[in-house]
Structure 1
Amino acid sequence: MATKKKTATKKKSSTARTKEKPVILVVNDDGVTAPGIRNLVEAVKDLGTIVVVAPDKPQSGMGHAITIGHPLRLLKVDSFEGIEAYACTGTPVDCVKLAVDKVLHRKPDLCISGINHGANHSINVIYSGTMSAAVEAAIENIPSAGFSLLDHSIEADFTGARKYAREVVQKMLNTRLDKHTVLNVNIPNLPPDHIKGIRICKQAYAKYEEDFIERQDPHGRHYYWLTGEFVNFDKAKDTDVWALNHGYVSVVPVQFDLTHYELKAKLEKQWS
């Protein structure tokens, strides 16, 4: 009888665990007060237990930077009704690290980053704080996704972005994903009924043709202002740039292993 009782208790415990809501960490690079992160939280708040840890100020273009040599601070904020949230003085990557170690004291089931104000397609993924936060989560064995809307305006309409961010998160929660999964999701700046759906893509080969405008400050000292034009060299129809230009949400699976395996094999033969 004792054995049966123990088995029944074990089954009950297992069932209880399966009914627990997934823990979803939400981060970004535009700052904890940005409209994009508010819209992302709104899109997924009923899909799990949401915890927000985001920079206390904009951190765009920070890439995978981490804070070394300066203290980091976390301030609890009431920016999201009924949701635990913190402002962090560090970078987007710092936010992920602190969230896991000092806020959650565990790895969340999913990490989502954004919604970024502006595109993170193609080469932008290298510079993006939004995507670096997602990549950091994947390094920590947490499946993740970064979301970006192709509109830099602080007054951008996030209706379509909310719809597709929610759809992607639902698909991720319902799929047995590799623990190192990172998805780069970009959403065109279109009304929801004009977006044609989701395309799984590759990263386009494109870059900025950059220039530095030289100016003088009121004291006669020179300074430089980075500018440039985005140029797409990749005309294939399976890229993120093509999908976005044709009204689709682009989803690019990315990875943090930067090894060029084809070249590795070639050099092993040539240099042996």
Structure 2
Amino acid sequence: MSKKPLILVTNDDGINAPGIRTLIHVMNTIGEVVVVAPNSPQSGMGHAITLDSTLYVEKIIIDEGPQTEYSCSGTPADCVKLAIREKLTRKPDLCVSGINHGSNSSINVIYSGTMSAAIEAGIEGIPAIGFSLLDYAWSANFEHTKAFLKTIAENVLKNGLPQGIVLNVNIPNLAKNEIKGIKICRQARANWVEEFDKRKTPQGKDYYWLTGKFVNLDGGEDTDEWALEHGYVSVVPTQFDLTAHHYLKNLNDWNLND
């Protein structure tokens, strides 16, 4: 009898978030599930890790199911590190992160705690996927995501992923019958144009709220932003090697050693 795949589940919205509860439910239909996730929201943490304070991990039960769950006081990347080194009896066959409440398309992948958890797993040689739904509401409806979660996760388990690549999956906030399918994409060239709302405390001290707008500078029809805007689930193969390989030759032509 073949052993069930071991699936590590984590996120950045916290272990109680509706998104991760949906992801756990779906992964339970595929394999043996162990959850190690933050005990409070960690959105926008990027690939931060805890270096200057203690970490706590507590085994908990949130709802019925065969999964084993731990809440962690650290960041999403901390959760993956602790899971691999302390809580898992063997290397997981898959790590899934999410479902994030909100988009992680385009440049958002840089800031995303959801994707950083997946990337941390990828660094360890574990096939990994970050899932996000384009709905920031805590009460978001994740029902229509289930079929896509299962299809993509099963395909990764079947086909594997090359070393150094993880998948960034974003799902439109549409009814299931309105989603046209899954599209393989590249990351759009887009960014946030930030502004700071400057205010004063009653004591006269300045403080700031970060605001801004998202600007898509990419007109391509092969991007994640285009796919999402046109009703497709976007899947972007994402690498954590940030070397600009195409520019190495140019730098070697500089007279840096003269």
TM category (shorter chain) comes to: over 0.9
2:244 aligned residue = 260
Identity among equivalent pairs (%): 55
Could you tell me whether the CA contact under 8 Å between 2:48 and 2:75 is conserved in 1? yes
Deviation at 1:43, TM superposition (A): 1.7
Counterpart in the other structure of 2:136: 152
Q: 1:109 deviation in Å?
A: 0.5
Conservation of the 8 A alpha-carbon contact between 1:208 and 1:230: yes
Q: 1:30 aligns with which of 13, 19, 35?
A: 13
Report the Cα distance in structure 2 between the residues aligned to 1:219 and 1:136, rounded to whole angstroms: 43
Query: Residue 7 of structure 1 corresponds to which residue in structure 2?
Result: none
CA contact (8 A) 2:164 2:241 kept: no
Aligned residue in 2 for 1:187: 171
Q: Aligned pair 1:141/2:125, yes or no?
A: yes
Task: Quote the residue 2:35 is aligned against.
Answer: 52
Letter in 2 for 1:168: I
> In the alignment, is the contact (CA less than 8 A) between 2:14 and 2:38 conserved in 1?
yes
1:94-109 maps to which residues of 2 (within 5 A)?
Answer: 94-109=78-93
Aligned partners of 1:69 and 1:105: how far apart in 2? 27
1:213-224 map, 5 Å: 213-224=197-208
From the CA coordinates, give the structure whose radius of gyration is larger: 1
Q: Distance in 2 between matches of 1:271 and 1:245?
A: 46
Structure 2-normalised TM-score?
0.96
Q: Does the Cα contact within 8 Å between 2:20 and 2:99 map onto a contact in 1?
A: yes
List structure 1 segments (4+ residues) > 4 angstroms apart after TM superposition: none
Aligned to 2:234: 250
Report if the CA contact (8 A) 2:103-2:134 is conserved. Answer: yes
Partner AA of 1:251 in structure 2? V
Give secondary structure in 1 for the equivalent of 2:135: coil
- 5 Å-filtered alignment, 1:203-242, equals 203-242=187-226
More helix by share: 1
How far does residue 154 in structure 1 lie from its aligned partner after superposition?
0.6
What whole-Å deviation, never above 9, does each CA across 1:9-59 have from its counterpart, x for those lacking one? xxxxxxx4xx10000000000000000000111122110000000000000
Check the 8 A contact 1:142/1:180 in 2, yes or no: no
Note if contact 2:127-2:160 (Cα within 8 Å) is conserved in structure 1: no
Q: Among 40, 44, 47, which residue is 1:64 paired with?
A: 47
Q: TM-score, normalised by structure 1?
A: 0.91
Aligned residues: 255
Gaps of 5+ in 1: 1-15
Give 3-state SS (helix, strand or coil) of 1:237's partner: coil
**For residue 176 of structure 1, what is the aligned residue in structure 2?**
160
Q: Which runs of 5+ in 2 are unaligned?
A: none
CA distance in 2, matches of 1:28, 1:200: 23
